[in-house]
Every structure is written in structure tokens, then in C-alpha cells.
Amino acid sequence: MWPWPTTRVQRYFWPCWSPCSRDCARRACEPAPMSATFRQYWALTKPRVVALIVFTALVGMFLAVPGLPPLKQSVIGFLGIWLAASSAAAINQLLDSRIDAKMARTSWRPIVMGQISPARALAFALLLGTASMLLLVLFVNTVTAALTFASLIGYAVVYTVFLKRATPQNIVIGGIAGAAPPLLGWSAVTGMQGEWDWAHALLLVLIIFVWTPPHFWALAIFRRDDYARALVPMLPVTHGVAYTRWQILIYTVLLVAVTVLPWAAGMSGLFYLGGALVLGLGFLIHAWKLMDPPDELYAMKVFNYSIVYLMALFAFLLLDHWLMPWLAAPSGLALQPVA
């Protein structure tokens, strides 16, 4: 058995508290140089993760209105959501730097490598977060600002500080914050004033919420030794790989069912439904093969497919909502921004 820390404080500071891990975390505790390049600050924002976040937020904006969304709310809302997601990512790297130092997947991150000092990382994250809130409050609406702030705190603080270190269901519970971007995008252009705004936007949130566990647990299977070394209680570490594979399959079946709901609720048409079912079948095949994988790398194939799956699914939503009605019109639709 591991020398598992018994208190929340010990779990949080484990990489530096444990004698056997001090060498691994040494770089995270050393002072950083006074300067850092743009590339290092860019890496601090987890740009690939944030790109998927803002893409789903952008789709939420387009789905919220029948034509093109209003230009000002769309552009400033997009920027505000992007800044908030980047701020949350930077705070996550700051708070997780000791754990990151023990994991091969994250040992190259700029705070761990000493390229950006913790103080500068915090200042950078606060600058991004403040800019986001100012943009959303002053130029979009307070509903979007409040929802975005709640999502930022949910991921950067509630998930990173507490859930990640406390329970193997960290991804499930914390997934609420990560699933919020379509709601934020929807709110940015409507202010959630419509009769069905909340119901339709929350359907998109539900899709990402159910997608998150099979997506991340596939990565956790492949990186289970990293998580075990860092004493992060991910499901493959605490319950074993076989149990996690079953959970991935169960959540994938649930995900396919959930993705039918936008069609059932009248949000989308047959074009989306067909795309969702084809993509879902692919996900189910990957999840089934993971039960008896052909090689150790297959979990990463599932992880990578899950990313393509979500992007393609939201692309089908957008195409069904906008392009298909436009192409089906006798002379085309003159799509105008909504006032």
C-alpha cells in the first residue's frame, strides 16, 4: 500500500511533504528566472484544451439564435470566455505544479521547469480573469459574467484544490464546470431571456458532462502510473483498470443516448441525428475494444477519438442548425445578425 497522506493539507502538499518525492518536485519549488517568453505564457493557458472549450462556446452562440448572432456580443463574449478559460488553466497549473513535477505528462510545464515563477503565474492568471470579467460585465451581460466566474472557480479552485485530490469521482463532479462553455456562449448572445434558453443550453452542457468521464478516464488508464506516483486518486488507480474500462463503456452508452436529446427536443434535425449516431457508434466500438485492448496504447486511441468526437458532434449541431436550412431554401437565406 502507498503511504497515503491522511489529511487534506498533506494530500495537497504531498509532492513536497513526502521525503521520497522532494527530488521530483525540486524544480517546482525553485525560484524562476525574471523573464519568460510569450511561448511559455501561452503554454500556461493550456491552449489546446482552451481551443476545444471556446469552440463549444462558439457553437452555443450560433445555436442560440436563428440567424447570425449579434456581432458585438459574439466577439466580446468569445474573448471573455477565452480569457476566463485561460485564467483557469493558469491557476490550475499553479496549484498543481508540485503534482505536475512528478508526472511525465506534465513535467515540462513552465512553472515546473522554472521558466515562470509562481508569483508571475498568479499575476498573469489574475490579469486574464479580471480582463474577462470586465469585458463580460461591461459589454456583454451580467448573467454571462456570473456563469463564467462560477465556471472559473469551479475548475480552478473546487476541482483543482479539493475534488482532484479527494475522490476518484473528481472528473464526474468537476465535469460540471468543464461542461459549461456552451451555456456561456448561449448566454452571451441571449442573456438567457428566452423561454427555452436554459433548457436548450443545458442540453449541450449535459452532452459535455457525460462525455468527460470516458474521455478523461481513457487518458487516466494510459497514465495510471503517473497518477499513482503523484498520489492522485484517479479511478484506474483506486479501482483498477478493468473497473475503469467498464465505467467508460457505461458512460459511452449513456453519452450516445444523451446526444439524441437535441433532436428529440426539436433543437436539431435529421442531419445532426445521423451524424451523432455515426459518431456514437464509433465511440462505442472504441469503448468495446478497450475492454480487451490490442495493445497498451489503445487507451490513448480512445482518448484521441473522444476529442475528435466532441468537435465533430458540435460541428454537426452547427451545420444542422445553420447551413442546412440555408442550403435548403429555394434562393438561399439572407442571414443577418440578430439585433
Secondary structure (DSSP) of 86-116:
HHHHHHHHHHTHHHHTT-TTTTTSTTTTTSS
Q: What is the pLDDT of residue 295?
A: 87
Nearest to 207 by CA among 132, 150, 264: 264
**Which pLDDT value is given to residue 333?**
43
For the cut 90, the answer to whether the pLDDT of residue 288 exceeds it is: yes
**Per-residue pLDDT tens digits for 114-142:** 999 999 999 999 999 999 999 999 999 99
pLDDT higher than threshold 80 for residue 28: no
Confidence of residue 323 (pLDDT cuts 50, 70, 90): confident
Dist. CA 323–CA 22, nearest whole Å: 56
User: For 88-103, how does the pLDDT look when each residue is reduced to its tens digit (9 = 90+)?
Assistant: 999 999 999 999 999 9
Please state the CATH superfamily assignment of the domain spanning residues 37-194 in this structure. Answer: UbiA prenyltransferase (1.10.357.140)
Q: Which residues contact 17 (CB under 8 A, 6 or more apart)?
A: 5, 10
Structural contact between residues 306 and 211, judged by C-beta atoms closer than 8 angstroms: yes
Asked whether the beta carbons of 175 and 212 are under 8 A apart, the reply is: yes
pLDDT of amino acid 302: 98
User: Which grid coordinates are listed for 145?
Assistant: 459574467
Read off the DSSP letter of residue 33: P
Q: In this predicted model, which residue has the larger pLDDT, 6 or 191?
A: 191
| Tally of CB atoms within 10 A around 327 | 10
Mean pLDDT, rounded, of the chain: 88
Chain CA centroid to CA 138, Å:
26
Burial of 167 (0-12, 13-18, 19+ CB in 10 A): middle
Residue 21 is predicted with a pLDDT of: 42
Distance (Å, rounded) from C-alpha 128 to C-alpha 131? 5
**Grid cell of 192 as nine digits:** 438567457
Give residue 13's pLDDT: 38
28, 98 in Cβ contact below 8 A?
yes
Buried b (16+ CB within 10 A) or exposed e, 299-316: bebbbebbeebbbebbeb
Query: What proportion of the chain, given as a percentage, has pLDDT over 70?
Result: 85
Between CA 132 and CA 140 the distance in angstroms is 11
Binned at pLDDT 50, 70 and 90, residue 6 comes out as: very low
Q: Is the pLDDT of residue 185 over 50?
A: yes
Give the gyration radius of the chain's Cα atoms: 21
pTM of the model: 0.86
Model confidence at 20, pLDDT cuts 50, 70, 90, reads very low
**Where does 107-259 have alpha helices with state H?**
118-135, 142-153, 164-166, 170-178, 181-190, 197-222, 224-229, 235-238, 241-258
- Percent of the chain, pLDDT > 90? 80
**Cross-strand partners of 68:** 337
Tens-digit pLDDT profile for residues 57-83: 999 999 999 888 999 999 999 999 999
